Amino acid sequence: MRIIKILGKILLVLLLLNLFIIAFFWIKNENYLESPNQKNLSYLKNNKKVILENRDRLNGFFDQEFYDSDVFLLGENHGFAEVQNIDFELLKHLNQKIGLKYYIAEMDSIRSKKLNQYLTDSIKNNSILRSVVIDIKQRIPQQSSQQLLEKWEKIYDYNKTLPDSSKITVLGIDKNFDDDSRELSRDSMMTLNLKSIINKRHLENEKFYGLFGYSHVLQESYSESNFRPFAVRIKSFIKKNKIKSLVCYNIDSEVYLPENDQFPAPEDHKLTILNEDGPIMLVKGINDLREITQPNSVTIFDLDNTNSPYRENQYLGGIKVNFFGPDVITKSSDVSTTDVLQYVFLIRNSKALEPIQTIDNLVGGHE
């Protein structure tokens, strides 16, 4: 009996210790996220637009200064399904408004060549598209999905409605998927590849849009190692203030997480703990966005309009990461949010991306 009592006390102490750690961690996270800020809320309420289905989602939101930019970068934390819809709508909107036709992609030139072949074929060749989507697993496992495939099918359909002079062309600027060398970072290689493509194809007067991982689109260096993202590097040959960074934040959403060496994946490969309001990833000020949005919605916010408090603070300007990597936040107190990014999409209740369907579930290789 004495041994049982001792074991019971040990288990109780361990339980209380775990509860204390959880409570401490929760309080620490809540303090970092902060309660809604009235100054921020007042501004955000007048600089947002709820994006609805079956409408021109973005029409009437952006100003001329936005359209005068040369490079538009959409940043995401991979694995959330709704981002694929936003990517398609933003590409279509920019094509219609300013004639943008070059989609810079986080893929290598081998896959972008295949994708361009798919987009220009007279008949949808799903075998080509599927091979590209499957190959993307080599570089971005969370993005290789059924929704990615369906997005490119929609881009194919949209392209068919356009004259040849306006059709979408994909520029793959990433390192070769088979290149494991670390002599150059991916951000450095993407920068060199984009500059080379612009020079070789004489695209100096063209505009470019692309979807990238979140950290690549930030316009200031971040973390203690002073890492220089792709958006920082291309400022060497893109005119000042001609880059616009838009990022996607998620709350109450599911993310697709295939098997990997860094994070234990559940059996169905879906997680709800990787939203940007914690517990793993934290965006200071995201509670302001929650306060003025509704569940099951997508809302875009302009952080860089007249009298914006985000020109003076760092709310929404980076992600604090617990346990699984360095923070993605600038360390300079002289840098404001709008120096880093200019627009935020808040996605609520997104579904996770889904693994690409097996060939047995498809009818043939062509449509």
Nearest Cα to 267, choosing from 141, 355, 356? 355
Q: Where is 103: in which H helix or E strand?
A: strand 102-105
Q: Give the type of residue at 283.
A: V
Q: Which residue shows structure tokens 């040959």?
A: 237
Cβ–Cβ < 8 Å for 303, 341: yes
For residue 11, count other CB atoms closer than 10 A to its CB: 10
Amino acid, single-letter form, for residue 67: Y
Q: Is the predicted pLDDT of residue 277 greater than 80, yes or no?
A: yes
Domain boundaries, the chain: 34-361
Span 226-256, pLDDT tens digits: 789 999 999 999 877 799 999 999 999 999 9
Yes or no: say if 312 and 367 are a contact pair by the CB < 8 Å rule: no
Neighbour-count burial for 311-326, b at 16+ CB within 10 Å, e otherwise: eebbbbbbbbeeeeee
Q: What pLDDT band is residue 359 in, cutting at 50, 70 and 90? A: very low
Query: What is the mean pLDDT of the segment spanning 301-308?
Result: 97
CA nearest to 177, candidates 109, 82, 84: 109
pLDDT of residue 360: 39
**Token digits for 159?**
């392209």
Q: What is the mean pLDDT of residues 158-184?
A: 93
Q: Where are the beta strands (DSSP E) in 214-366?
A: 243-251, 255-256, 270-271, 281-282, 298-302, 320-321, 343-348
What is the mean pLDDT of the segment spanning 188-202? 97
**pTM for the whole structure:** 0.90
pLDDT at 19 over 60: no
In tens, the pLDDT along 336-346 reads: 999 999 999 99
pLDDT of residue 33: 76
DSSP assignment, residue 322?
Answer: -
